[in-house]
Amino acid sequence: MDTIEQTLATSHLPPSAMERIAAYFQALSEPSRLRLLNLLCSGEASVGDLAEASALSIANVSRHMALLAKNGLVKKEMRGNSAIYSIADSTLYQICELVCTSIGNKLADEAHVNAAFINAGKTD
């Protein structure tokens, strides 16, 4: 299997594809949208449920969810008067695992360095 570096180096995507990729990552670049996606990892939810769980207004949740749906990250199903959202792109879980693991490792390294620095300054 190709590594991501090999895939990126050998793929010659047209500018329109690069724009879609950028839009996808831009949709992930807002903390409130990440929080909403995190809530959806446990299953589908209505806009009202998401608003209550995230402490965002219903209007704000609706705007965020529309952008996420436009970029294919979530899907919307109408049930009566309620919009129910769920994760549409299962690769999102893989992306989050990669990023969270990387950031977790960096934070652990920083904590180790900080602890060593603090301990070096202590005198017995």
Domain chopping of the chain, boundaries: 14-89, 90-124
User: What six digits make up the tokens of 80?
Assistant: 């009566």
Residue 69 binned pLDDT confidence (cut-offs 50, 70, 90): very high
The single-letter DSSP state of residue 56 is: -
Q: Is the pLDDT of residue 120 over 80?
A: no
Measured between alpha carbons, how far is 79 from 41 in angstroms, rounded to an integer? 20
Whole-structure pTM value: 0.75
CATH hierarchy code of domain 14-89: 1.10.10.10
Answer whether 28's CB lies under 8 Å from 67's CB.
no
